[in-house]
Amino acid sequence: MTRALAAAAALTLAVVTTLIVQAGGDPASALRHVYLLPVVALALAFGGLGGALSAGATLVLYASVVLPAIERSGLTPETIEGLVTFALVAGVGALGGTLTTRARRQRARYETILAVQRALAGVTLLEAALRSVRAVLIDRLGAADVGLVVRDGEREVAAAAERVVAGSVADRVLTGGAAVFVPDTGDGSRPRRVFATPLVVAGQPIGVLAVERVGELGGEERAAVEALGAHVAVALENARLTSRARRFADELERQVANATRHLEELDRAKSVFVAVASHELRTPLTALQGFSEILAARSLAPEEVRRMAGIMGAEAARLGRIVSDLLDLSRLERGLAPTLHRTPVAVEAALAATANLFRRGAVDTLVVDCASALPPVDADPDALERILANLVSNAVKYSPPDSEVRLCARRAGAMVEIEVLDRGAGIPDEARERIFEPYYRAPDVGAVRGTGLGLAVVKALVDAHGGTIRVESAVGAGTRVTFSLPAVS
């Protein structure tokens, strides 16, 4: 169709010129206005090049009419009209071609923006959005390559690259905030030109658009790329915000799922705890009730009375520890720290008292090993007693009969470290991460009794003193629990 239009225009120019010559060669002939038709048609069809060529051809043909008339008659009103027609044809060709070229570039720009929007539709990841936009721009701009970089918080996301190289064109634009033009990168026989422009949204640079082309990349094209960059910046900013919102939504969904799972586990643990605690409370109460009834109903030998009184005292102490743990747990769940009455406490005496409490005749199973010249600790005596009682109770319960349990203490800077070491079954890795959670009991504890509160209370009491606690354990090799308390200077 374009060839037919060009042929029709050429034929029109030739026919008009022939008719003017046959009519006497009058430069002011009304037929001269017909010259504008092919010039306008070719300018609209082919842009600036078409307008310039058609105007040039028209001027050459019309000159064969105007110039002879000027030679014959000089500057007459007729020849002056011919010269005005010269100027008019040239102006129409140039202006029409220029406007057509600009309109086409504007249309191409809008089509590119629309293609970018379509490429981003449904894309939720920023990296995928950059790849899609890059592919669209390479195709639409006829570029050898296109680079895109977008800042997302502290990171920089680049299309077709892992990172922005220091000193590169993109890095210079990101650092300086101004467009950069490289006339030739020197990578081939033909010049490879690079133009990089910042992507700006609300006055803030968010990234870089770089276009590389083999051949010309003129000022108008660079201006068009810069204008296109403003639209691409908005589109990529929307994609970045969408990607971030998606990540936040996914993270929130994971956190909600984890919280829900944790609450379900906690609910199950509480249900198990209610059953276990009921049993743990009932056992010492049953012993106290049974022995008190025996003492009330029978006359027993003093030795038997003392034996029963010892059992009743131990069960009462056990009952007291359970009640204290429950009270402390209630305070912890309300966000309250344990109440402490701190005073200097001799560590070796505290360890020896706890060991005596659990020996019950098995003297050799509990060993106290304290470093010499050990300073007292700044602690609540009752709290320290409960910490040691809980840890030693666990060590004894989960160790084979007659196996050694060691209670050690040593100076560690401004702290005193106390450790309870047993040779029991040990704690699996997956359970060791949760042993300080309230109500949690490690699986496969067998028939060993417990409420799952002791270690949670121990950690709370150690934290309240400003100390730390850690557990080292291996299945089949025993467990070492080490906690620290501030030493009295």
Q: What does the pLDDT look like over 96-154, one tens digit per residue?
A: 878 888 888 778 777 877 777 777 777 667 777 778 888 887 887 777 888 888 887 77
Q: pLDDT confidence of 215, banded at 50, 70, 90?
A: confident
Angle between helices 302-333 and 219-297 (to 10 degrees): 160
Distance CA 484, CA 419 (A): 9
The two three-digit tokens of residue 335, written as one number: 């966000």
* 3-state SS assignment for residue 438: coil
Which residue in this structure is represented by tokens 């010039």? 39
* Cβ proximity of 58 and 41 under 8 Å: no
The two three-digit tokens of residue 99, written as one number: 């406007």
194 class by beta-carbon count within 10 Å (0-12 exposed, 13-18 middle, 19+ buried): buried
For the question of whether the overall pTM of this predicted structure is more than 0.75, the answer is no
What integer best gives the mean pLDDT of the chain?
A: 80
Residues facing residue 367 across a β-bridge? 406
The whole-number pLDDT of residue 448 equals 54
Residue 363 pLDDT exceeds 70:
no
Give how far the C-alpha of residue 50 lies from the chain's centroid of Cα atoms, to the nearest Å. Answer: 54
User: 337 or 12: whose pLDDT is higher?
Assistant: 12
Mean local confidence (pLDDT), 174-198: 79
Q: Identify the H or E element spanning 270.
A: helix 219-297
Distance CA 147, CA 158 (A): 8
Q: pLDDT confidence of 469, banded at 50, 70, 90?
A: very high
The two three-digit tokens of residue 20, written as one number: 């003017």
The two three-digit tokens of residue 273, written as one number: 């705890």
